[in-house]
Amino acid sequence: MTQKTNTSFVVGILALQGAFVEHQTALQKLPIQKKIDVILVRTAEELAKCEALVIPGGESTTIALLARLSGLLEPLREFVKIKPVWGTCAGAILLAKAVVGAKKGGQELLGGMSITIARNGWGSQVESFETDLDVVGLRDPERPFTGIFIRAPVVLTLEPSPGDLPIDVVASLSPSLLPDSLTSSNSTNEPKTFVALRQGHHFLTTFHPELTRDNRFHEYFIRECVLPSISPPRS
């Protein structure tokens, strides 16, 4: 059993399918003072030990199906309501409140972020690409971060309801990179360039930071989303 101390906290990585080992490696190498106990989550009991969770890239419908079969779907939905969660690529889809382009039969979602997202918005595997991103809030902001996009989803709209926390854009890319199917002459295309968003202690990236050797997005999630949620309030 993972033991928590005053100087450590537990971050889980949903390990049903996808690039969870890469996230584990990145989190274990972070340059922060508190120790992160990283556990791979496959059961509700393991999820209950966590202060925060990362949902990796992979195949969103497969992850949702495996979560349901393992009795994790409803515990995940409850977890998302109260604790920090970061979704990358497929994980980003699961954190959305609505999805376009789901497979036949629909797409089960966890919710948590007030956005609509398009599954495989960039197209098939052959449309995968890498590009430098415009990023706000990372350590060493002058140093470019290379985003790796593999069958990536695309954010279509930001839809916060009255009373929802604001949505902050953490990273975006050049509109010139958008495929023809996503471009038009109206201004509503702007969200389609957003590739990293934060809403309260929820965070999503439509690309794969874990597939680089640059762990600044992992550091951002811990610093901006996780630590504030577990630190006692100042008197």
Tokens encoding 128: 């995968």
Of 23, 46, 51, 89, the catalytic one is 89
Residue ranges of the binding site: 58-60, 119, 150-151
Helix (H, G, I), strand (E, B) or coil at 6: coil
The position carrying tokens 């010139």 is 176
Q: Report the distance separating Cα 182 and Cα 175, nearest Å.
A: 10
Of 23, 202, 208, 218, the catalytic one is 208
Residue ranges of the binding site for L-glutamine: 58-60, 119, 150-151
4 secondary structure, DSSP code: P
Q: Report the distance separating Cα 204 and Cα 217, nearest Å.
A: 10
Which uninterrupted H or E stretch holds 78?
helix 73-82
**210 tagged catalytic:** yes
Characterize 18-30 residue by residue with b for buried, 16 or more Cβ atoms within 10 angstroms of its Cβ, and e for exposed.
Answer: bbbebbbebbeeb
Of 51, 210, 219, 225, the catalytic one is 210
Q: Report the distance separating Cα 230 and Cα 44, nearest Å.
A: 20
Contact 88, 54 (CB under 8 A): yes
**89 tagged catalytic:** yes
Q: How far apart are the first and last CA of the chain?
A: 33
Catalytic positions are 89, 208, 210
